[in-house]
Structure 1
């Protein structure tokens, strides 16, 4: 019993130490910087998308294109190193949030939904962090090409195609959730904004339009993955850039692309505002 109690005490001490680190002002400041870097990436993707809408961009309209644009700017590598570390801290914070925040949720289903959603954010920021750091180190690659290669490997088996369909359904669902969150202003519950200030209006406008635009883009990505799986054609699973290229080919696609591009810029601005008003632990 003594050994078991000692093990429990040790685990509790480790957990308390982890919570102290997550709540430290310095760590929180770095994590908030991750929101700013995420915002910059979305703004750049939106700008590339707008240029694509008007036929003036050869860059990838995804995180690779955005990070490449940062890397090619003066001092861009420094920004990528700082941003990559900041987004890694943000991913770690979301992992801590999934563990510690779930304690305060009443009901098993609420805890499960909360943990899944929070872990999903951790994965997103973790992937962005790794991608940014790879570009900073000079080894960044085309994310659309990587996606196609990975999908091609999965297409060789029935289980692999089912896995791609599952990914398609998940991405499609996340996109729909973004649209729902934007239209229903569900993001307001996650922020602490002083009432009666002009900044509140800016947050509502950028949040509503930004979430809806990003949701539409993600729905497009999910559809491309589904199309790739059903047609056994990995070339169609090219991620965000491929989805936007397909959108551009539709009737009035240029207009739709311009709207999505503007919305992604607004989402980026919302992420920057979120860095100031989102509660951290």
Structure 2
């Protein structure tokens, strides 16, 4: 039923970027008061037990701060439990693309096969052991986890990457891979579904702003970021195609 995928043979992932414009005073205050910039990447899933993870951190800023990444992906498994403010590390990782499935065997190790969910990544547990699983995406040249979900024995999770990035400046101390439900500063969600570049303005006292298009939205301090970064299935634009319900098709065929 499944054909082994020896390597990921997809179209090269496009580079996407966000430019953050700041005045000199803002840049100085961010540096002297110990602020860091944290980035998160959104996904779609029907699993309600997941959490977003800190994707990347940035501690050096300039009047035009440049963030760049590609949508190259990996599927991972971990023995770490999922809990707010706890870090999830990938114990096993394999390059993967939308439409493929990672078959997880003993000790969380697995192989990648062709799957039947064309717009999502599937992770199928062939054992009776429980793991944590998720997908990673490459940012600043490093493959880092963006989400974490429970992977119960003899079950499967289907996760669709979507081109939305959430950014926040805060002096909280967080490491990449830390599970987050809320942050104490204002954040901004940026939609790059239809373009490969967006520009933002950040002011230390006024917060985030942009050209007032509908492609970005601000979220107040202490907002619940889980539903913002883990969307339920709906007609949204994803990394691997046009607007659609990303995780719905192919799920039953894989079970």
TM-score scaled by length of structure 1: 0.23
Relative to its length, the structure with more strand (as a share) is: 2
Relative to its length, the structure with more helix (as a share) is: 1
TM-score scaled by length of structure 2: 0.25
Computing the radius of gyration from Cα coordinates, the structure with the larger value is 1
